[in-house]
Structures are given as structure tokens and as C-alpha cells.
């Protein structure tokens, strides 16, 4: 530590720049922690709200007491139904407030409602207002929500009021908390629930949501976004590692002469080495100490932006100790390894050599130097540039690796952006409908015949199901639908028999082939279908003939969706249940908006990484130019002007930047493929990599601009200091 | 060897005033009240203290004095590689102390050659390239290679033009430095202990080469500890504590 403080006193700017660079690098690794910070915040909320392990929509039942379930901690029945109001859809939820133990609703303002009263989600109404639903006026006495419904407009009332408003006789939503909240136990609970309902002539209206292990249901929705962000941590890690290695190496190498003097005065190698390592560890440690809080901040800010934007939940502050501990270990172990090697080299350099030239080993010592000196290629400036680069090759490689990493990061981030955009487009691309009307609540409430004879309107079923552990979308479609392009990549399209066409990407990931059977867990139970085709759809979609699916769901002739190739007002039928109307343009606009948020996050992370690499390049170049200050002074002494000095430096650095950009583009290409490939395999979804080609020239220009700026700054600084002052140390 | 071989004529953008020995009384350099203070505040140290100095064209001046007396500092000011804290200096008709950084660099290139005790050759360039660079920086566009090789031949390094500085001995490096300084035909040559890093025999040989330039009319200021070398100058300027003291000896 004492050697650290001494070093800081001697060259404050450079040491502090090193510490800050390492701090920023360690901070960037904090991006890794985004998924775990987001998940952690959500789990805290799950704990607070007593989130249900199983939530099931059922046909109305008198009471949950009639259900026969094993291993249950607590079961609660509720009323839940959406009501169309002039202001839009409102979910009405009836709760037995004195006995609520699951998905607990607490007022942020006011109090829980009694009969004739309501508690509403924020923004829907104020305390004291009266809301009228289905001719029932309710006095608003409280504002609040549970995080389960964080993005919805909800009116909470007493069970009796909800029954009156919705017409549900009894309860139609069952919430369960299990003693054993693990996945298998929840699956059993769903089975028990289904049997118990069926035994009394009732049934599940949709595939129940199961939330194992104290998670939050929203976690599933966010996991993709946050993993994608977390994966950028890999890029940050690589850039950080390069920076750490080159900074540490530089710190020790520049002490070659000083160490040589101590050795010549009788200094023993081992303690000298220990001191050098101590210095490197001190700087890495100091960097990590600043970097870790920075990383915690980065992770929390990003997690917060993602959560509030996509779930309406404002998370509490959380720290991923694993990631922070790992980045501290990473900084210290990395510094120790690099420092060990550099220190060994420095203490082994022959004394005569180390003492003779304060600018390191002289040019001409290696055969490659002599070959270069014999190669009169280009003008004098070009020769100087090439040889200077070759002479300080470790420094050159350091600069180029940092630039490469920066370019690769930019290209990767941009490619992730373009790939996601392309994926969004591709996801909607096979669909031909323009407008869709879909029931909001569970079940198949619409008569398929409502579509009438209009060719531009089609009835369909869209249900959530489960295949393996994957939540999938199950579509019931007419085999000769015009709403979905039915050309398959493999096999054949639906023909009305008991077959299924599956998204090709998911099928490939799960080893599902044409001709094999898949078991799909539906509300009505597990059903088996023969795979007869693979579709280019990018989601996790299963297409089944509508009649087959309706029969399997015990609802012949019933559907929950109408599609039209025309405008929304084409669907002018009177629907018996609340429905959501959306056009494909709106869907696209929503995608674009969501992408813009993700893009922003990506760019923030990208900029942090670029910042790290620019800092790294600048600090490497600062050292490089410091070592060459006598050379630059001599250049000026014989008449070299600032502009000429800049030209020499540009001649040296611009080709390095160009090579680094090319390598960075290739690395970014493979990096994007690797990240998206990883993402595809863990999410069983086909995304496809769309390389951000247009980013390559921009990144190249930026890399050249960075080195040009460094060259200009260095030339300006060198020209300012009188030659005599610089050379005095050398004379 | 005629001095013609050293003058890069073809395509040269420089104009040299023709050397006329009889004009030895023309003033090359005139310093008035020249002062250089190192450091600030309590640590301030006046290395050159109100020095008045006039040097004539073609004159050879030896700057002598005890270590720390300000010889190098004064030499740096005369060569334009440092700026005075106060005072004025007119050299080759230019108010040197008032030039901006770039103009000063150009002025140096055009009029001055500097030779350091530690040579300060560019380490990545060969002997010939070092000389060529000086020519390039001073606007010579053509014939640089030939002029460089001629200059190196003149200092006896004809066979070693392709060696890197690290492949040359100290004496050889100093001779490259001399070739580099004189190839551009400076009017003023400032040499700070040019033989200080060399053994005596080599030093004297190198010095003899430097003195050879007198025949071409170059004004030479050299700093030395060696009385024998100093005795070879037209004039000896003594410095003590930053001041020029009387006692100049004409040779
Ligand atoms: N670059 C500098 N920074 C600070 N002090 C300097 C510098 N150069 C010279 N000095 C100081 O100025 C004084 C004169 O130094 P110098 O001109 O090198 O003397 P000499 O060449 O006669 O030995 C000395 O005390 C020296 O310490
Ligand atoms: Mg001196």
C-alpha cells in the first residue's frame, strides 16, 4: 500500500486514470447482475404479496371448500372477470377481504372496501369517486393493487358485489399456496384441482398459471429481456479483462529501470517482485472498490428501467453479491496473474540492458527490428510509424485489442438490436389478419358461428398450454385458414385430422420431428398430437385444427378469437364477453416501443463498454507517448512541427485502428451469433442473427476519430513543453 | 571534399545566404537581458541571469563554467529549444523569443542545428534515415538520400549508413548527430558537451569533425568542460551562477 501511495504522488494522473479505468471495467461487469437483481426484486415482492403458487380460472363454483386438494397450505376463491366500460376494460375482482391470504391486496391510500365500496388500482379513480359497473355504483374508498395485476386496471370489491356485477355465481378463480412450492408439486396440485372440479361437473377454463419456488409470475416474462442484457456482461467482461491486463502490465513494465537501479544497489529479486505485485494488486483493488458500487448502481438502474417499463413495478434496491464478489475476485486474480508474469520479466531483464536505455530495450535488439530497418517501405513517417509499432509491440497489441474490443462491443450491441427488430418483424410476418378480437377472460365464450358467412372473418382459438416445461401458444385454426401462411418448412400443413404443426425453431430445440408425437398440457388435461409439419413461425406456436382443439377443450363450436383481414369495425358482432381489440399495426407499434426501451438500455451498456475501451486506449497511449517523449523532443529539436508530429502519430495509429476495426467487426459478428445462439438455446426460440452491417463503417470512423484525437492531443502537449525541458532528464 | 556535396540544391525550398568570410563581423545572434528561471515560488532558480551576448556570423564560441552555472540552459535558449523567462534574443534577423511554438520549430529547422551530449537520434531510424528526416522536416523534397549519404561520408560513416543507432558506438552516434545537424546547412550550430559521453580519443576526433564546419562559415556555440577543446574556439565565454563573467580569451 505504501508503494501505491508513493506511486500516486509521483504520477497522479496516470495512476488515477488506471484506477478509474479498472473501476469502470469492474462496474461494467455489473451488467451481469441485471437478471439476478431483477429476479431478486421480484421475489421480494412475491414474498410480500404472498403470491399464489397456482392460479386457476374455473367455471363458477360455490366455494373452494368443495375442492379436494393434497399438500395445500391455503386455498382461496375469488371472482375475476373483465367488464367493458366506456373508458376501456376493467378487471373486477371480488375478495373475501377479512380472510385474504394470497395475492394480498393492500391499500396504498385509504382502506379496504366494505359492501358497496371499491378499492381501485392507481389512476383509475380517486378516493371519494363513485364508479358504476354494470349499473352497480361503488364508492371508491381505497387505492392499491397487488403486483400480480400491476399493469391492469382493477376494481377490487367484496365477493357479493363482484358476483352482482359480473354475474358469476360463487367464485371462478382459485388461488393456491402449497406447502411444497416446487414445480412437480404444483403440477400435481393442478391435476388434483382438475379432477376435483371435473368430479363435480365443473372444469378449468384455462391452463393454470404455476409459480414455483417463491418466484413472481412476471419473472418469466422478463427473463428473456434481462438475460439478453446480462449477456452483454460477457462483452463487458472481455473488455474489462483486456484493460486490466494491459494496465497492470504497463504499470510494472515502466518500472524496469527503477527496479534495475534497486537491483544494482543490492535489491533482491523476490522482495522486489513482491513489491511490484503489491502495487498492481493495490491499483486493481482500489479500482474494484470504486467499481463494485458502480456495478451495483448500473445493475439496479438497468433492472429498474426494465421492470418499471415492462411490468409497472418499481423494484427495491438489490445487490447481487455473487456477481460483485466474482468481479472483485476477477480484478484481483487477473491483476495478480498478469503482475506475476510482468514482475518476473522485469526483475530478470539483464541489468546492463535495463539501465542503459531508460526508454526500454533499444530498437534493433531483435532480428525483426533489423528486418524492418532494412525495409525502406513508404516514406520516412511510414517507416517510423511501422517500426515504432513493432518496437513497442506489447503496447501496440494492447491498444489494438482495446480498440478491437470497443468496436466488437458496438457491433455486437447494434447487431443484437437489429436481430431483435428483425425477430419482431419475422414473428408477425406469417400472419395475414389486420385486426383481431380476443376474449380477455379465460374460456371460450364466443360461438364460432358469429363469424357468419363473411369470408374476411375467421374464428380461432388461442390458448396457453405447456409442452415439457415450456409455456407455448396453442392455436385452433381452420385447416384452410387465410389468416396464417400455411407453407411449412417440412412435412405438410393441417388437413383436419388430429395433427399439429409446430414452430420449426422450437421443434429443433426440443428434438421434435415430423412424425413424432407431442403431449400438450391444456386446461382440459394433457392431449397427444402427431406432428405433421414444421412452420417458419418464430414463436413457440402449435397449430391444431380448430374442431379438434375445441373438442379437446370440451367446448365444441366455441372460440375466443376472431380475425379479420379488414379494418376492426368489420367485426361488428355483439360479443357475450369482454374482448380486446387490436390491429396488427398497433401490435407492431407496441413492439417498436418496447424495442426502443431495450435499445436504449443496450446503448447505455454499449457506451459503458466503449468508455472502458477508450479509457484503456488512452491510458496505453499515454504511457507509450510518455516513454517516447525524448524521441518526440528530438524530433522537434531538428525542426519537426506540431503538425508533423501529429502526422507521424496518425501514420502509426490509424492503420492500427483500421485493423482493429476489421478484427472487431469479425469478433462482433461471431459475438452476436454466440449471444443470440445461446439465447435461442435457453429460450427454445428461433431468433436469427441480423448483422448490423451499417454499424461497421460508423464504428471504424469512431475508432479512427479516437486515435486521431489522441494523436492531436499528444502532438499539442508535446509541442507545448520546451524541448530543453523534456531532454534535460535525458542529458 | 568540396562543400558542394553537402548542399542539397536540386529542388531545395531553402534559401541560404551565401557564405562570405569577410563578413565575419556581421551579427548572427544578439541576446539582451536574457533570463531563464526554473521552477516557481520558493523553488524558483535563476539559471540564466540577465545575460547580454553578441555572437558574430562565422564565429566559434566555447561556453565554459562550473557544473550548474547555466551553460546548458543558455545553450538551449540560443538554439531555440527553450524560451526565456524575460529578455530578448534576435537571431538571423528574427525576434526568436516572440515566435509561437510552430514558428519556433520551423525557425529551428531552418537556421539551427543542435547536438546533444546524448546524441538523441531517433532510435527507429537508421543513420541515413535520421539525416534524411532532418532534411524532410526542413522542406527538402528531393535528393534527400544522396545528401544524407554525403553528409555521413563527410563524418566518416560511409559504410554504416544503414545501421540503427543501437548498432553504432557512442562516437559513431555522435557523428551521425553532427551529420544530421549540418546536413540542413544551419547558420548556427549549438552543441552541448558533444564529446561528454565519449572517451577522450574519440571525443577529440568527433570534435575535430565539428570544427571542420568552421570552414563553411557556420556559427558554432559549443559547451565543454575540456580546456583543450575550449582553446580551439575564437572566443571563450565563462559562466558563473547564470552570469557571463569577463575574462574571455581570444584564441
Ligand atoms: N529543466 C530544468 N528544470 C529545473 N531546473 C533546471 C532545469 N534545467 C536546469 N536547471 C537548473 O538550472 C541550473 C543550471 O543548470 P544547467 O543549465 O544544466 O547548468 P550547466 O549546464 O552549466 O551544468 C541548475 O541549478 C539546474 O538544476
Ligand atoms: Mg550542462
Domain borders along chain B are 24-248
- The set of cell numbers assigned to A346 is 522485469
Q: Mean pLDDT, 10 residues at a time, over chain A (731 residues)?
A: 62 76 84 85 88 95 90 95 89 95 94 96 93 93 92 94 95 96 92 94 93 85 78 80 81 80 83 89 91 90 85 82 86 90 85 63 82 84 90 84 89 90 91 93 92 86 93 95 94 94 94 95 95 94 96 94 87 82 91 86 83 83 81 91 94 95 95 89 88 94 94 91 78 37
Q: Which residues surround ligand 2, an ion (CB under 5 A)?
A: B 72
Q: What is the pLDDT of residue A7?
A: 65
Q: What is the pLDDT of residue A617?
A: 86
Among A577, A611, A636, identify where a domain stops.
A577
Q: What is the pLDDT of residue A569?
A: 79
Separation of alpha carbons B235 and A465, rounded Å: 104
* Interface residues of chain B, partner chain A, Cβ below 8 Å: 72-73, 76-77, 79, 81-83, 101-102, 105-106, 108-110, 113-114, 116-118, 120-126, 129, 132-134, 136-138, 162, 164-167, 180-181, 184, 192
- A442 neighbors A717 (Cβ within 8 angstroms): no
CA dihedral sign, ordered A315, A321, A322, A323: positive
- A19 neighbors A331 (Cβ within 8 angstroms): no
Separation of alpha carbons A40 and B245, rounded Å: 82
Q: What is the pLDDT of residue A360?
A: 57
* Pair A210, A220 in one domain: no
Q: What is the pLDDT of residue A269?
A: 84
- Which class is domain B24-248? alpha beta
Nearest CA to CA, how far is B112 from chain A (Å)? Answer: 8
Query: What is the DSSP-derived secondary structure letter of residue A569?
Result: G
Nearest-atom index, ligand 1, CA of B70: 17
Ligand 1 lined by B71 (C-beta under 6 Å):
yes
Count Cα atoms within 13 angstroms, Cβ side, for A611.
16
Q: What is the pLDDT of residue B10?
A: 39
Q: What is the pLDDT of residue A692?
A: 93
Determine the residue among B111, B124, B168, B179 to mutate to test chain A binding: the one whose Cβ has the most chain A Cβ atoms within 10 Å: B124
Q: What is the pLDDT of residue A602?
A: 84
Nearest ligand to residue B85 Cα: 1
C-alpha distances in Å from residue A602, one per residue of A242, A610, A671: 21, 12, 15
Nearest ligand to residue A731 Cα: 2
Strands across the sheet containing B188-192:
B112-115, B188-192, B219-223, B60-64, B235-240, B243-245
Among A357, A389, A420, identify where a domain stops.
A357
Ligand 1 lined by B11 (C-beta under 6 Å):
no
- The set of cell numbers assigned to A282 is 493495490
* Pair A152, A165 in one domain: yes
Give how many domains chain A has, as a whole number.
Answer: 4
Among A214, A244, A266, identify where a domain stops.
A214
CB contact under 8 A, A380 and B125: yes
Query: What is the DSSP-derived secondary structure letter of residue A53?
Result: S
A473 C-beta neighbours (distance < 10 Å), count: 15
Q: What is the pLDDT of residue B35?
A: 96
* Pair A99, A245 in one domain: no
Separation of alpha carbons A106 and A14, rounded Å: 55
Ligand 1 lined by B80 (C-beta under 6 Å):
no
Range list of H helices, A429-581 = 504-510, 546-552
CB contact under 8 A, B136 and A364: no
Q: What is the pLDDT of residue B7?
A: 38
Closest partner CB to A363 (pick from B113, B120, B123): B123
Query: Would A435 be classed as within a structural domain?
Result: no
Query: Would A309 be classed as within a structural domain?
Result: yes
- A323 neighbors A29 (Cβ within 8 angstroms): yes
- A57 neighbors A173 (Cβ within 8 angstroms): yes
Q: At what angle do helices B127-137 and A380-391 cross, to 10 degrees?
A: 130
Nearest Cα residue to atom 11 of ligand 1 = B47
Centre of ligand 2 to C-alpha B112, Å, is 19
C-alpha distances in Å from residue A717, one per residue of A360, A389, A620, A623, A714: 22, 21, 16, 14, 5
- A197 neighbors A189 (Cβ within 8 angstroms): no
Query: Would A243 be classed as within a structural domain?
Result: yes
Give the H or E element holding residue B73: helix B71-79
DSSP A402-446: HHHHHHHHHHHHHHHHHHHHHHHHHHHTTB--SEEEEESSSS--E
Which residues on A lie below 8 Å from B101 (Cβ)? 642, 719-720
CB contact under 8 A, B109 and A640: yes
Q: What is the pLDDT of residue A729?
A: 55
Q: What is the pLDDT of residue A364?
A: 84
Ligand 1 lined by B70 (C-beta under 6 Å):
yes
Centre of ligand 1 to C-alpha A30, Å, is 51
Containing structural domain, residue A451: 441-577
Among A649, A641, A657, residue whose Cα is nearest residue A701 = A657
Among A671, A669, A607, residue whose Cα is nearest residue A28 = A607
Separation of alpha carbons A18 and A11, rounded Å: 11
Q: What is the pLDDT of residue A662?
A: 97
Query: Would A436 be classed as within a structural domain?
Result: no
* Pair A411, A467 in one domain: no
This prediction has a pTM of 0.81
Query: Would A250 be classed as within a structural domain?
Result: yes
Mutate to test the pocket of ligand 1, among B62, B68, B222 (most ligand atoms within 8 A of CB): B68
CA dihedral sign, ordered A162, A166, A169, A175: negative
Separation of alpha carbons A238 and A613, rounded Å: 10
Q: Is A494 helix (H, G, I), strand (E, B) or coil?
A: coil
User: B10 exposed, middle or buried (CB, 10 Å; 0-12, 13-18, 19+)?
Assistant: exposed
* Pair A9, A86 in one domain: no
Query: Which stretches in chain B have pLDDT values below 50?
Result: 1-24, 248-251
Amino acid at each position: 500500500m505504501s508503494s501505491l501511495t508513493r506511486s500516486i504522488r509521483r504520477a497522479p494522473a496516470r495512476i488515477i486514470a488506471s484506477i478509474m479505468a479498472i473501476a469502470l471495467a469492474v462496474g461494467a461487469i455489473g451488467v451481469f447482475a441485471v437478471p439476478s437483481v431483477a429476479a431478486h426484486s421480484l421475489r421480494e415482492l412475491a414474498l410480500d404479496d404472498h403470491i399464489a403458487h397456482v392460479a386457476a380460472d374455473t367455471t363458477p363454483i360455490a366455494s373452494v371448500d368443495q375442492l379436494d386438494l393434497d399438500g395445500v397450505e391455503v386455498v382461496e376463491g375469488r371472482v375475476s372477470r373483465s367488464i367493458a366500460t366506456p373508458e376501456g376494460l376493467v378487471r373486477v375482482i371480488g375478495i373475501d377481504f377479512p380472510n385474504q391470504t394470497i395475492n394480498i391486496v393492500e391499500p396504498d391510500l385509504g382502506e379496504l372496501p366494505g359492501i358497496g365500496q371499491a378499492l381501485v388500482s392507481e389512476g383509475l379513480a380517486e378516493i371519494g369517486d363513485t364508479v358504476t359497473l354494470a349499473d352497480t355504483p361503488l364508492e371508491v374508498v381505497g387505492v392499491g393493487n397487488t403486483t400480480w395485476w400491476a399493469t391492469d386496471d382493477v376494481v377490487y370489491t367484496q365477493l357479493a358485489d363482484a358476483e352482482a356485477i359480473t354475474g358469476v355465481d360463487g367464485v371462478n378463480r382459485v388461488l393456491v399456496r402449497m406447502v411444497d412450492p416446487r414445480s412437480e408439486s404444483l403440477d400435481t396440485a393442478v391435476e388434483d384441482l382438475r379432477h376435483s372440479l371435473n368430479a363435480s361437473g365443473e372444469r378449468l377454463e384455462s391452463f393454470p398459471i404455476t409459480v414455483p419456488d417463491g418466484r413472481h409470475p412476471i419473472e418469466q416474462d422478463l427473463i428473456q429481456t434481462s438475460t439478453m442484457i446480462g449477456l452483454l456482461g460477457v462483452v463487458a467482461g472481455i473488455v474489462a479483462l483486456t484493460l486490466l491486463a494491459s494496465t497492470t502490465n504497463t504499470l510494472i513494465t515502466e518500472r524496469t529501470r527503477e527496479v534495475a537501479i534497486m537491483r544494482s544497489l543490492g535489491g533482491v529479486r523476490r522482495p522486489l517482485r513482491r513489491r511490484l505485485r503489491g502495487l498492481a494488486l493495490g491499483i486493481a483493488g482500489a479500482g474494484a472498490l470504486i467499481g463494485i458500487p458502480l456495478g451495483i448502481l448500473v445493475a439496479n438502474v438497468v433492472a429498474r428501467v426494465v421492470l418499471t417499463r415492462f411490468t409497472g413495478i418499481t423494484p427495491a434496491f438489490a445487490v447481487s453479491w455473487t456477481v460483485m464478489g466474482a468481479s472483485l475476485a476477477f480484478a484481483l486474480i487477473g491483476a495478480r496473474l498478469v503482475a506475476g508474469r510482468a514482475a518476473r520479466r522485469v526483475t530478470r531483464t539483464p541489468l546492463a540492458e535495463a539501465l542503459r536505455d531508460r526508454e526500454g530495450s533499444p530498437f534493433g535488439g531483435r532480428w525483426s527490428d533489423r528486418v524492418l530497418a532494412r525495409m525502406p517501405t513508404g516514406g520516412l513517417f511510414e517507416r517510423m510509424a511501422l517500426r515504432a509499432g513493432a518496437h513497442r509491440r506489447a503496447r501496440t497489441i494492447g491498444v489494438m485489442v482495446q480498440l478491437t474490443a470497443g468496436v466488437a462491443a458496438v457491433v455486437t450491441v447494434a447487431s443484437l438490436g437489429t436481430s431483435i427488430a428483425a425477430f419482431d418483424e419475422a414473428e408477425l410476418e406469417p400472419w395475414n389478419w389486420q385486426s383481431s378480437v380476443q376474449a380477455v377472460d379465460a374460456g371460450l365464450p364466443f360461438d364460432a358461428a358469429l363469424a357468419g358467412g363473411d369470408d374476411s372473418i375467421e374464428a380461432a382459438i388461442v390458448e396457453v398450454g405447456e409442452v415439457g416445461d415450456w409455456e407455448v401458444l396453442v392455436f385452433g385454426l381452420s385447416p384452410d385458414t387465410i389468416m396464417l401462411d400455411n407453407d411449412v418448412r417440412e412435412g405438410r400443413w393441417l388437413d383436419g385430422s388430429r395433427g399439429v404443426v409446430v414452430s420449426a425453431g422450437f421443434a429443433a430445440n426440443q428434438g421434435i420431428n415430423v412424425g413424432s408425437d407431442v403431449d400438450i398440457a391444456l386446461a382440459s388435461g394433457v392431449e397427444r398430437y402427431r406432428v405433421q409439419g414444421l412452420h417458419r413461425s418464430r414463436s413457440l406456436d402449435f397449430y391444431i385444427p380448430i374442431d379438434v382443439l375445441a373438442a379437446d377443450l370440451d367446448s365444441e363450436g366455441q372460440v375466443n378469437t376472431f380475425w379479420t383481414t379488414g379494418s376492426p369495425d368489420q367485426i361488428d358482432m355483439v360479443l357475450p364477453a369482454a374482448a380486446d381489440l387490436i390491429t396488427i399495426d398497433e401490435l407492431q407499434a407496441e413492439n417498436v416501443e418496447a424495442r426502443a426501451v431495450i435499445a436504449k438500455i443496450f446503448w447505455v451498456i454499449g457506451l459503458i463498454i466503449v468508455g472502458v475501451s477508450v479509457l484503456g486506449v488512452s491510458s496505453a497511449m499515454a504511457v507509450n507517448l510518455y516513454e517516447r517523449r525524448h524521441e518526440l523532443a528530438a524530433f522537434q529539436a531538428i525542426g519537426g512541427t506540431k503538425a508533423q508530429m501529429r502526422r507521424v502519430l496518425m501514420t502509426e495509429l490509424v492503420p492500427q485502428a483500421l485493423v482493429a476495426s476489421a478484427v472487431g467487426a469479425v469478433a462482433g459478428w461471431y459475438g452476436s451469433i454466440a449471444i443470440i445462439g445461446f439465447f435461442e438455446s435457453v429460450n427454445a426460440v428461433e431468433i436469427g442473427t441480423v448483422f448490423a452491417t451499417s454499424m461497421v463503417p460508423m464504428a471504424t470512423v469512431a475508432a479512427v476519430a479516437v486515435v486521431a484525437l489522441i494523436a492531436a492531443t499528444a502532438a499539442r502537449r508535446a509541442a507545448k513543453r520546451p524541448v530543453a525541458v523534456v531532454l534535460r532528464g535525458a542529458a | 571534399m568540396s562543400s558542394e556535396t553537402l548542399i542539397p540544391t536540386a529542388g531545395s525550398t531553402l534559401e541560404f545566404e551565401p557564405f562570405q568570410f569577410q563578413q565575419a563581423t556581421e551579427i548572427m545572434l544578439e541576446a539582451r537581458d536574457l533570463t531563464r528561471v526554473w521552477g516557481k515560488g520558493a523553488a524558483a532558480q535563476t539559471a540564466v541571469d540577465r545575460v547580454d551576448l553578441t555572437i558574430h556570423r562565422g564565429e566559434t564560441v566555447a561556453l565554459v563554467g562550473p557544473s550548474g552555472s547555466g551553460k546548458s540552459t543558455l545553450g538551449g535558449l540560443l538554439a531555440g529549444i527553450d524560451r526565456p523567462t524575460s529578455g530578448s534574443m534576435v537571431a538571423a534577423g528574427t525576434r526568436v523569443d516572440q515566435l509561437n511554438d510552430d514558428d519556433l520549430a520551423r525557425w529551428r529547422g531552418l537556421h539551427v542545428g543542435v547536438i546533444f551530449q546524448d546524441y538523441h537520434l531517433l532510435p527507429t531510424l537508421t543513420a541515413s534515415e535520421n539525416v534524411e528526416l532532418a532534411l524532410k522536416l526542413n522542406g527538402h523534397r528531393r535528393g534527400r538520400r544522396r545528401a544524407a549519404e554525403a553528409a555521413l561520408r563527410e563524418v566518416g560513416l560511409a559504410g554504416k549508413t544503414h545501421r540503427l543507432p543501437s548498432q553504432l558506438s557512442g562516437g559513431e552516434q555522435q557523428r551521425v548527430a553532427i551529420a544530421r545537424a549540418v546536413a540542413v546547412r544551419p547558420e548556427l550550430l549549438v552543441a552541448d558537451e558533444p564529446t561528454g559521453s565519449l572517451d577522450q580519443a574519440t571525443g577529440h576526433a568527433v570534435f575535430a569533425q565539428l570544427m571542420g564546419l568552421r570552414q563553411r562559415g557556420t556559427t558554432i556555440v559549443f559547451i565543454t568542460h575540456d580546456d583543450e577543446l575550449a582553446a580551439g574556439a575564437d572566443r571563450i565565454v565563462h559562466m558563473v551562477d547564470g552570469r557571463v563573467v569577463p575574462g574571455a580569451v581570444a584564441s
